[in-house]
A and B are shown apart, each in its own frame.
Chain A
Amino acid sequence: MDEAAVARLVPGLALALPRVPHRGRVGEVRATSAGSSLELHDFRAYQPGDDLRQVDWNAVARTGDLILRIRQDEVSPRVEVVLDGSRSMALSPRKAACAREVALLAAEVAARQGLSPTLMVAGARPERAQGNACRAALQVAEFDARDDLSASLGRLPPLRPCGLRVVVSDFLFEADLPALCSRLSRGASGLFLAQVLDAEDLDPSGGEGARLVDAESGAALEELLTEDVLAAYSRRFAEHQRGLRAAAMRARGTLVTAPASESLAALVAGPLRPLFLAGGGA
């Protein structure tokens, strides 16, 4: 993991937060809850127990009814970064490093943005870290899960409502993708699926391989990597990607695909641009 590259990029980036109210601790982003900010959110009739300071006395004068001003809270929304810890993420050292870098960049940018980053590593032994501990957690994170993300999510602590959820994975597994995306988007105002793919995932080189072994399950398949077989793989991969993108859209999420072969700077300027906005402003 090239932490220096991450550190160079963080100052100039900001996470693309959704334009809907957020939840979170007191902060700078409008919350979904009523609070004490200056921005008016709504009016309603007074109920016993309400804060009398919020009574709109002008309205009382006009109408004779006790009308209460409801103002929105200003909160610091949570950002959850979920890193897939399955073995396929370590297909190559570059893929593993790229996944760590994207997760770290999201956490670091969120922290700099004043948000509360939480990192969850869905490995064989789930890890959870917050704030500055995210970096250390990513440094020791292992891609050792023998199952895919949809299965390893069950081992994680429950996903909590958050402002933005970034899921870093290769999403190369057989699962009910709409259901998975729906689950990942639950409780999150915004969802980004950051798909990190190795060069061999995108474009298998073939060679003389005759025994293909699944990185996670260990299942084997006898196959000579001929041109026809490679073409068939490309067709199925493209179909899988279409299905994943559609599932993400239905869950109001965004799929960004990051080829691990490219540098992090190139990824931020390219495929990851929807997630990382240039400018560093919140």
Chain B
Amino acid sequence: MSFGFPWGLLALGALAPLVAAYFLRRRQKPVVVSALFLWRTPRPRAEAGPRFERFTREASLLLEALAVVAVALFLADVRLGETARTRHLVLVVDGSLSMSARGPDGVTVLEKARQEAARRVEEVDATLVTVLASGLAPRVLAGPEAEPSRALAALESFHAQGSDHDPMPTLIWAQELAGAARRVVFLTDVAPENAALVPESVRWMALGTGRDNVALVSAQRRDEGNTATVTLRVARFGAGPQEVEARVRAQPGPGAKQGTERVERVRLPDEGTATVRLTFQGAGEVEVSLPDDALPEDGRVRLPPAPLRPVAVGIAEGLAAPERQAVERFLAVAPEVEKGASTGETLLIGPRGTDARVTVGAAGTLRTFLGPFFSEKGHPLLDDVQLAGVRWTAGDNPPGRPLVTAGEAVLVSEEEGGRVHLNVDLTRSNVQRVTAWPVLLGNVVREARRTREGFPRRQLTLGEPLPVVTVPGARYTLVGPEGRRPVFGAGAVDLPPPSGPGRYVLERDGDEVDTAEVLALDARESDLRGRGAVDVAAREAGDDEEHGAPGRARWPLVLLLAALVADFYVTRRV
């Protein structure tokens, strides 16, 4: 037995007043008469006798209770045997942030999607419902094959805050989950770019409305010493206001007595973005908000303090004077670098032949090259390294994978463990005098920074993968708004993009290591101009849709009628 509409069982509540009325009537004082036979119609057949009469009330109660049960079963759409066949409906809800946009009536697209989902469930008369949320990683909100009421309840508590994504993988998955019935409804806010690419059993229902919107498209914060620098980029999508007020409120930091609030008037260009940079002294958490519009969520961010973590760089003993001077000249101007630190994470620069992370120097037969230089294309250490006009004197080839070569000479190489060898004799080269030198060392420092434990980036926007660096031998856990999840792998790991904004904490063996903030910002989601309403029917109908869904079972009505007739017979008048 199953129920198509379990709420109908609430009709069983009518049993309570029925039974109460029965007992109230029982307590009613009976009227004693001399001759009962004068009160009732003579019956042609023999009477059942007093025993039957005594149980008239009880029989009436039972019959009336049976009638109530029959009504409840009918309302609950009871199904037995063949009629208990399940009808499975898969609902896919767009989980992107634009679903939270308000229409002209103030109702969010997600709320319309909820209402439409309830209508679909009612129309299809679904007995089982699966609800998926599309996103970079599809999620199951209810089911698979949950009760309709539970599925709709799960949808009620869902918040669409994901990034822009391609819904096709989710729709294909939904089609597989739907099985033979092949009833899939995708609830979104935009028409399909190419309807032919939509899986054939998917009904695409767009419920959005084209709106103008002003949004933050990025927000960054840097904390150097006691100074926090907040950089905002504000964009206007559509014919919005020419100017908006950005309200920035800085909570007091650990040493500050009171916070700061500023209101910045931002002129918005017709195309492109406007950038605002603000600095605060002793600021704690910074809240930025734009005036409410069609999508208020993309106009608010919270930026927690993100103190700089300078890379500790040490110079090993034995480095020749020219190399030492060249390195120290770079370190003197390099940002976020702490020279001379000697912690375990120090980026050690030393002479060739040592176990320093970066070795500088040449040994063996020296050869000077003017070009051509061949670089490993796309290697991060060589980003923007231009060797044109460089005179490079190198010795014997260092170990490791060649990154820059000249003829058969290896000028720069990298070992498996990340050790970098600069095969250069700076007394005969001019590398240290061209821009390639600071750029190359800057890349080395950047890579060192990237391999530090924690989050390389503290503020991310929606849809960005979450990079994290872990140290081998430790157990890491990522704690976010969706709960805890272990982090597997050592070194630089790119975790999948978080499905929602919020604060993410990296824990090592239960201790907090680092935090990152995922901001509810996504320029593609903030652009609401192309949203609209459209209903694209599925190109292929499900199996039982061809035969038509069976209606409600009629036998409870027959039972109801029989119970009422019997009750009338039992309690009929004289």
Please determine whether A88 and B34 come into contact, CB atoms closer than 8 angstroms.
yes
**Chain B residues within CB distance 8 Å of chain A:** 25, 28, 30-40, 49-50, 53-54, 56-57, 60, 571, 573-574
Q: Is the CB of B56 within 8 A of A212?
A: no
Asked if A207 CB lies within 8 Å of chain B CBs, one says: yes
Per-residue B-contact encoding for A229-255, CB less than 8 Å = 1, 0 else:
100110011001000000000000000
Whether A236 pairs with B38 at a CB distance below 8 angstroms is yes
Q: Is the CB of A211 within 8 A of B35?
A: no
Please, which residues of chain B bring their CB within 8 A of the CB of A204?
A: 33
| Contact partners of A133 in chain B: CB under 8 A | none
Which of chain B's residues have a CB closer than 8 A to the CB of A233? 38-39
Contact (Cβ within 8 A) B35 A172: yes
A233 to B30, CA, bound (A): 18
Closest 4 CB pairs of A and B: A209-B31, A172-B35, A214-B36, A88-B34
A229 nearest in chain B by CB position: B574
Are the CB atoms of B36 and A212 closer together than 8 Å? yes
Q: Once the chains bind, are A210 and B28 in contact (CB under 8 Å)?
A: yes
- Name A120-144 residues within 8 Å CB distance of B: none
Which residues of A have CB within 8 Å of B54? 218-220
**Contact between B573 and A229, CB atoms less than 8 A apart:** yes
Within 8 Å by CB of B56, from A201, A222, A225, A229, lies A222
What residues of chain B lie closer than 8 Å to A225, measured between beta carbons? 31
A:25-43 near B, CB below 8 Å: none
Confirm or deny: A50 has a beta carbon within 8 angstroms of a beta carbon on chain B: no
Cα(A221)–Cα(B53), bound, Å: 7
**Docked CA distance A249–B57 (Å):** 42
The distance in angstroms between the C-alpha atoms of A278 and B154, with both chains bound, is 97
Excluding A172-B38, A219-B53, 15 further A-B contacts by CB distance (< 8 Å) are A91-B34, A173-B37, A174-B35, A200-B33, A211-B30, A213-B32, A213-B33, A213-B36, A214-B33, A214-B50, A222-B56, A222-B60, A223-B39, A223-B574, A237-B38
Query: Cβ of B37: which chain A residues have Cβ within 8 Å of it?
Result: 173-174
The count of residues in chain A whose C-beta lies closer than 8 Å to any C-beta of chain B is 32
Contact B30–A213 (Cβ < 8 Å): yes
Ordered by A's residue number, 26 sampled pairs between the chains whose C-beta atoms are within 8 Å are: A88-B34, A88-B35, A91-B33, A91-B34, A170-B35, A172-B34, A172-B38, A201-B35, A209-B31, A211-B30, A211-B31, A212-B30, A212-B39, A214-B35, A217-B36, A218-B50, A219-B53, A220-B53, A220-B54, A220-B57, A221-B53, A221-B574, A223-B40, A229-B39, A229-B573, A236-B38
Q: Which residues of A contact B (CB under 8 A)?
A: 88, 91, 170, 172-174, 198, 200-201, 204, 207, 209-215, 217-223, 225, 229, 232-233, 236-237, 240
CB-based contact A219/B57 at 8 Å: no
Smallest Cβ-Cβ distance to B51: which chain A residue: A219
Contacts of A232 in B (CB 8 A): 574
Contact of B30 among A91, A174, A209, A229 (CB under 8 A): A209
Known: A229-B574, A236-B38, A237-B38. A215 touches B33 (CB 8 A): yes
**CB of A83, distance to nearest CB on chain B (Å):** 16
| In the complex, chain B residues whose CB is within 8 Å of the CB of A207 | 31
Contact A173 B35, beta carbon cutoff 8 Å: yes
Number of A-B contacts (CB under 8 A): 88
In whole Å, how far is A209's beta carbon from the nearest beta carbon of chain B? 4
Q: Given A220-B54, A223-B573, are A215 and B30 also a contact pair (CB < 8 Å)?
A: no
A220, closest chain B residue (CB): B53
Report the Cα distance A145→B35, complex, angstroms: 14
- CA A229 – CA B40 in complex, angstroms? 9
| CB nearest to A225 among chain B residues | B31
A residues near B57, Cβ cutoff 8 Å: 211, 220, 222
Tell whether, in the assembled complex, residue A212 and residue B31 are in contact, meaning their CB atoms are under 8 Å apart: yes
> CA–CA, A278 to B54, complex, Å?
49
Complex CA–CA separation, A213 to B49 (angstroms): 13
Whether the pair B50, A217 counts as a contact (CB closer than 8 A) is: yes
- Closest-CB distance, A98 to chain B (whole angstroms): 13
- Tell me whether B35 and A213 are in contact (CB under 8 A): no
CB of A203, distance to nearest CB on chain B (Å): 13
Q: What separation, in Å, do the CA atoms of A91 and B60 have in the docked complex? A: 29
Alpha-carbon distance between A215 and B35 when the two chains are bound, in angstroms: 7
Chain B residues near A220: list those with CB within 8 A: 30, 53-54, 56-57
> When the two chains form their complex, are residues A221 and B36 in contact, meaning their CB atoms are under 8 A apart?
yes
Interface contact A201-B34, CB-CB below 8 Å: yes
Chain B residues with CB below 8 A from A209, complex form: 30-31
Chain A residue contacts of B36, Cβ below 8 A: 212-214, 217, 219, 221
Alpha-carbon distance between A214 and B39 when the two chains are bound, in angstroms: 10
Give bound CA distance, A211 to B36, whole Å: 11
Set of chain B residues within 8 Å of A91, measured between Cβ atoms: 32-34
A43 CA / B37 CA spacing, docked (Å): 56
B residues near A221, Cβ cutoff 8 Å: 36, 39-40, 53, 56, 574
Please, how many angstroms separate the alpha-carbon atoms of A91 and B35 in the complex?
A: 10
Q: Which of B33, B54, B571 has the most CB of A within 10 A?
A: B33
Q: Which residues of A contact B25 (CB under 8 A)?
A: 210-211
Complex CA gap A210/B35 in Å reads 16
A237 to B37, CA, bound (A): 10
Q: A220-B56, A240-B38 are in contact. Are A215 and B50 (CB under 8 A)?
A: no
